């Protein structure tokens, strides 16, 4: 027996063996070793509420026409829902038809610790070249300990290659960061803007060659003549921002004094026996005001007033940009219909592209009114100027082409706006439900159904 073990050990080799041991990060093991962290991590399952953003802001459907964002878009909720929500949304659709390329597996990137595991097995591009629906059976866990920690330990770690690459670009690699920054960084591997790199099998890339501000990312995209899709009405090559919480925070007053995502969203706690731990129920910050903010902001009433006024100021400007851009897209459409050429349209189309990018960079960052109200306001101020510029240019073009009337879409409700851009929600939902029933419910792991 001893001999057998010895042979087995030498066959496996020490390296493989130590990895196999370190990799025991099963829920049972983690729960036994770190009960407080585990229980609070699990408690994000109570944050089930979410809202239909397209019903609240139907104008966004027009701005995102031609992309899956116009089909379904919800506000975020607890980490425990991450895998199920990306599975059920119409944005990720159904399996592609025979011989067609489906949506990239990259859409799994920020939902599960199974992604770094699969990237280790398949390589970065091997992973992203797979279809989204092909890897559903592999997604066993939601955002988990090993997404933020060394396997089974308290030390923080950064398992996603796109985040490590990005921090190398801005010369602040993970191992050179102080403790506070590392805390923000683990959130920033997912709560950060990205795009899929078409020439690299759709791998996730963070566009920070020039820097991480909206201006510098735009410069990168413009230089590369990159776009996510062509807007079906205005023919604008659209850019899409995605939850740049990390970017907004990194330029905030709070970042300067070392207040991070962890300070506000993972407050210090003590258990029944007086033992201190970090609350892993990542969720809204304001319900924990007394624990989190009070120490630095004594006057709660004054701060809430400041927050609420920043929130409504930003919302007001965002609605203004949306109204302007809806009009601009349709005015451009009318100009194309009347025979306009790229030579005369280019300036207006670029202004639409740039205005929509800034609006999106401000609005897809959840909580920008709290994270960095100055930046959100500045982005929207510029977006207003750019959208107005586009409309002035288009108005000249339209009068040159003798177009006297533009038919704007009805954006009074989600249904009306989706109808205007040809989205047949019932059909899409039916196909999705059939896929869920035949494939997901039968073959995918339990986390793909949390909350459904
Ligand atoms: C989204 C990222 C994230 C996830 C997921 C996560 N942690 Fe943490 N964890 C942190 C951060 C950030 C800290 C605080 C580090 C600091 O600032 O000291 C921390 C701290 C800890 C500590 C140190 C003691 C303490 O409470 O501060 C332990 C132990 C720990 N986590 C265990 C776990 C376990 C077990 C899981 C899975 C059930 C888990 N963590 C999931 C980010 C995460
Ligand atoms: C592996 C990727 C990943 C990491 C790491 C991660 N998040 Fe998230 N986070 C998500 C996803 C995905 C959602 C949306 C889940 C949904 O709506 O189904 C989310 C949702 C949230 C929400 C909304 C919760 C609610 O109840 O409304 C907050 C707040 C949040 N994350 C903060 C953080 C913070 C702070 C960190 C770092 C400590 C962090 N996240 C780390 C992926 C991640
Ligand atoms: C100064 C405290 C503070 C810091 C630092 C901070 N946040 Fe927030 N965050 C808030 C507040 C306040 C809100 C508004 C809603 C709430 O959480 O009460 C919010 C909202 C959010 C939301 C939207 C939650 C929802 O359900 O709509 C996400 C996601 C989020 N923050 C992630 C992050 C990430 C990631 C970081 C770090 C890169 C970060 N936050 C840094 C205080 C903070
Ligand atoms: C460690 C101290 C500290 C903590 C904790 C802290 N803040 Fe701050 N906060 C500051 C400092 C310093 C500033 C910058 C100076 C100022 O405006 O008071 C600031 C500024 C702000 C601002 C104005 C931001 C701007 O750019 O105009 C808001 C809003 C704010 N904090 C909200 C919060 C909320 C909400 C929390 C808790 C979720 C919180 N802060 C937690 C220290 C802190």
Each residue of 223-236: pLDDT tens digit? 999 999 999 999 99
User: Which band of pLDDT confidence, cut at 50, 70 and 90, is reported for residue 100?
Assistant: confident
8 A C-beta contact, residue 67 and residue 229: yes
The residue whose C-alpha atom lies closest to atom 12 belonging to ligand 1 is 183
Range with lowest mean pLDDT among 95-99, 183-187, 412-416: 95-99
Confidence band for 97, pLDDT divided at 50, 70 and 90: confident
Q: Which atom of ligand 3 lies nearest, measured to the CA of 246?
A: 38
Residue nearest to atom 9 of ligand 4 (CA): 254
Q: Please report, rounded to a whole number, the percentage of residues in the chain having pLDDT higher than 90.
A: 92
CA gap 162, 127 in Å, rounded:
13
Which atom of ligand 2 lies nearest, measured to the CA of 85? 18
The predicted structure's pLDDT at residue 18: 39
Most informative mutation of 191, 264, 279, 371 for ligand 2 (most atoms within 8 A of CB): 191
**What pLDDT is stored for residue 450 in this prediction?**
97
Q: How many residues does the chain have?
A: 452
Contact predicate 156/182, CB 8 Å: yes
Radius of gyration of the chain (CA): 24
Chain-centroid distance of CA 307 in Å reads 23
Closest CA to 89 of 61, 52, 60, 123: 52
Instruction: Determine the Cα–Cα distance for residues 58 and 312; give it in Å rounded to an integer.
Output: 18
The structure's pTM equals: 0.95
pLDDT, tens digit (0-9, with 9 covering 90-100), for 222-273: 999 999 999 999 999 999 999 999 999 999 999 999 999 999 999 999 999 9
Q: 27-51, pLDDT tens digit by residue?
A: 999 999 999 999 999 999 999 999 9
User: For residues 97 and 135, which has the higher predicted lDDT (pLDDT)?
Assistant: 135
pLDDT digits (tens, 9 = 90+) for 41-81: 999 999 999 999 999 999 999 999 999 999 999 999 999 99
The backbone region for 410, taken as left when phi is positive above 0, alpha when psi lies in -120 to 50, beta otherwise, is: beta
- Which listed ligand is nearest to 159 at the C-alpha? 2
User: Which atom belonging to ligand 2 lies closest to the Cα atom of 76?
Assistant: 17
For residue 260 and ligand 3, the question of a CB distance below 6 A is answered with yes
Ligand 3 proximity of 264 Cβ (cutoff 6 Å): yes
* Ligand 4 binding residues, C-beta < 6 A: 252-254, 257, 259, 263-264, 285, 292-293, 295-297, 303, 306-307, 370, 373-374
Distance CA 28, CA 25 (A): 8
- Please give all residues whose beta carbon lies within 6 A of any atom in ligand 2, as ranges: 47, 76-79, 81-82, 85, 110-111, 143, 147-148, 186-187, 189-191, 261-262, 265-266, 282-284
Cα 93 from chain centre? 17
pLDDT higher than 70, residue 7: no
**Ligand of minimum distance to the alpha carbon of 84:** 2
Query: How many whole angstroms from 111 Cα to the centroid of ligand 2?
Result: 9
State the distance from the centre of ligand 2 to the C-alpha of 46, rounded, in angstroms. 14
For residue 108, give the nearest of 82, 89, 70 by alpha carbon.
82
> Are 352 and 236 spatial neighbours (Cβ–Cβ below 8 Å)?
yes
Give distance in angstroms: CA of 149 to centre of ligand 1.
7
CB atoms within 10 A of CB 24: 12
- Cβ of 371 less than 6 Å from ligand 3: yes
Average pLDDT score, the chain:
94
Q: What is the CATH number of domain 34-449?
A: 1.10.1130.10
Q: How far apart are CA 226 and CA 247, in angstroms?
A: 21
Task: Give 368 Cα–ligand 4 centroid separation in angstroms.
Answer: 13
């Amino acid at each position: 027996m001893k001999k057998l073990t010895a042979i087995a050990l030498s066959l496996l080799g020490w390296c493989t063996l130590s990895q196999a041991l370190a990799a025991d990060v099963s829920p049972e093991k983690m729960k036994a070793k770190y009960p407080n962290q585990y229980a609070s991590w699990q408690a994000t399952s109570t944050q089930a509420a979410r809202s239909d953003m397209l019903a609240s802001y139907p104008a966004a459907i027009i701005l995102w026409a031609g992309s899956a964002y116009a089909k379904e878009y919800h506000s975020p909720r607890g980490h425990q829902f991450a895998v199920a929500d990306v599975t059920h949304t119409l944005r990720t659709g159904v399996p592609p038809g025979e011989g067609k390329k489906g949506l990239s597996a990259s859409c799994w990137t920020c939902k599960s610790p199974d992604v770094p595991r699969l990237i280790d097995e398949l390589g970065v591009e091997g992973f992203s070249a797979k279809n989204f629906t092909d890897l559903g059976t592999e997604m066993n866990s939601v955002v988990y300990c090993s997404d933020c920690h060394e396997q089974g330990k308290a030390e923080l770690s950064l398992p996603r290659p796109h985040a490590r690459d990005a921090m190398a670009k801005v010369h602040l690699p993970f191992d050179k960061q102080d403790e506070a920054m590392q805390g923000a960084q683990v959130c920033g591997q997912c709560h950060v803007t990205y795009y899929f790199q078409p020439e690299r099998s759709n791998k996730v890339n963070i566009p920070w060659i020039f820097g991480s501000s909206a201006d510098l990312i735009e410069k990168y995209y413009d230089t590369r003549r990159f776009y996510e899709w062509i807007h079906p009405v205005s023919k604008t090559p659209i850019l899409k921002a995605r939850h740049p919480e990390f970017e907004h925070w990194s330029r905030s007053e709070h970042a300067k004094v070392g207040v991070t995502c962890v300070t506000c969203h993972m407050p210090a706690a003590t258990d029944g026996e007086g033992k201190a731990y970090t609350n892993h129920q990542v969720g809204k910050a304001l319900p924990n005001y007394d624990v989190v903010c009070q120490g630095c902001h004594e006057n709660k009433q004054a701060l809430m007033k400041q927050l609420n006024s920043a929130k409504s100021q930003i919302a007001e400007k965002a609605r203004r940009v949306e109204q302007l851009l809806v009009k601009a897209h349709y005015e451009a459409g009318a100009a194309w219909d009347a025979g306009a050429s790229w030579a005369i349209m280019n300036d207006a189309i670029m202004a639409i592209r740039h205005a929509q990018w800034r609006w999106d960079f401000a609005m897809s960052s959840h909580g920008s009114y709290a994270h960095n109200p100055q930046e959100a306001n500045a982005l929207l101020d510029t977006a207003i100027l750019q959208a107005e510029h586009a409309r002035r240019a288009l108005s000249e073009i339209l009068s040159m082409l003798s177009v006297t009337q533009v038919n704007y879409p009805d954006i009074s409700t989600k249904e009306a706006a989706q109808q205007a851009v040809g989205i047949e929600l019932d059909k899409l939902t039916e196909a999705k439900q059939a896929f869920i029933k035949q494939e997901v419910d039968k073959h995918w792991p339990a986390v793909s159904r949390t909350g459904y």
